């Protein structure tokens, strides 16, 4: 059996909605952009990017080529710019404002994840098992990131 069944039906937006749902179930409902907390948030974003990079490399030469291409698209969506900003990820969050996020604070300081726990659980329970695992693992990497000096 392939690593991911029917991966072709999932878009990066689908993944990020599952990712946000998994964050909600980890009691995270904000993604900070312009405060002191944003420094830690960028660290989390970078940790997620590096984890996706590892997942892409791990899939090369083994497993499903469609899954590897999907992981590659996810990694590219999380890739930081030359200045270290995560504009693509911010764009994904902005695009989800009608369905999953809202912007808060006077200077767009954070994105609030607008998914209830019940809805988050439903999203994850109805996802393909491999997509659910990918989103839950990504949320774990993101939520458990710790700043080290």
Q: For residue range 12-21, what is the model confidence (pLDDT) as tens digits?
A: 888 988 999 9
Average pLDDT over residues 23-51: 82
The whole-number pLDDT of residue 53 equals 93
Q: If pLDDT is split at 50, 70 and 90, which confidence band does 4 have?
A: very low
Q: Where are the domains of the chain?
A: 7-143
Average pLDDT over residues 73-80: 89
Neighbours of 128 (CB within 10 A): 16
* Burial letters 92-106, b for 16+ CB under 10 A, else e: bbeebeeebbeeeee
User: Is residue 99 a contact partner of residue 91, using CB atoms and an 8 Å limit?
Assistant: no
Q: What is the model's pTM? A: 0.81
Q: If pLDDT is split at 50, 70 and 90, which confidence band does 68 have?
A: confident
In whole angstroms, give the CA distance from residue 84 to residue 97. 23
The whole-number pLDDT of residue 39 equals 72
The whole-number pLDDT of residue 148 equals 63
Residue 67 has pLDDT above 60, yes or no: yes
User: Is residue 117 a contact partner of residue 30, using CB atoms and an 8 Å limit?
Assistant: no
Q: Enter the DSSP assignment of 109.
A: -
In whole angstroms, give the CA distance from residue 108 to residue 103. 6
Average pLDDT over residues 56-70: 83
Q: How far apart are the first and last CA of the chain?
A: 43
Query: Which is higher by pLDDT, 139 or 32?
Result: 139
pLDDT tens per residue, range 78-134: 888 888 777 777 777 777 765 666 666 555 667 788 889 999 999 999 998 989 999
Residues 6 or more apart in contact with residue 77 via CB below 8 angstroms: 12, 16, 88, 89, 92
Element (H, E) at 60: none
């Amino acid at each position: 059996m392939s690593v991911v069944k029917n991966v072709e039906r999932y878009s990066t937006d689908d993944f990020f909605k599952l990712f946000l749902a998994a964050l909600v179930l980890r009691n995270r409902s904000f993604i900070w952009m312009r405060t002191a907390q944003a420094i830690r948030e960028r660290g989390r974003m970078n940790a997620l990017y590096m984890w996706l990079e590892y997942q892409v490399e791990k899939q090369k030469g083994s497993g499903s080529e469609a899954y590897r291409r999907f992981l590659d698209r996810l990694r590219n969506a999380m890739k930081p710019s030359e200045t270290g900003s995560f504009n693509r990820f911010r764009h994904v969050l902005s695009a989800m404002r009608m369905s999953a996020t809202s912007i808060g604070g006077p200077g767009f300081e954070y994105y609030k994840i607008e998914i209830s726990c019940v809805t988050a659980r439903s999203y994850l329970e109805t996802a393909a098992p491999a997509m659910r695992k990918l989103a839950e693992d990504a949320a774990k990497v993101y939520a458990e990131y710790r700043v080290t000096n």
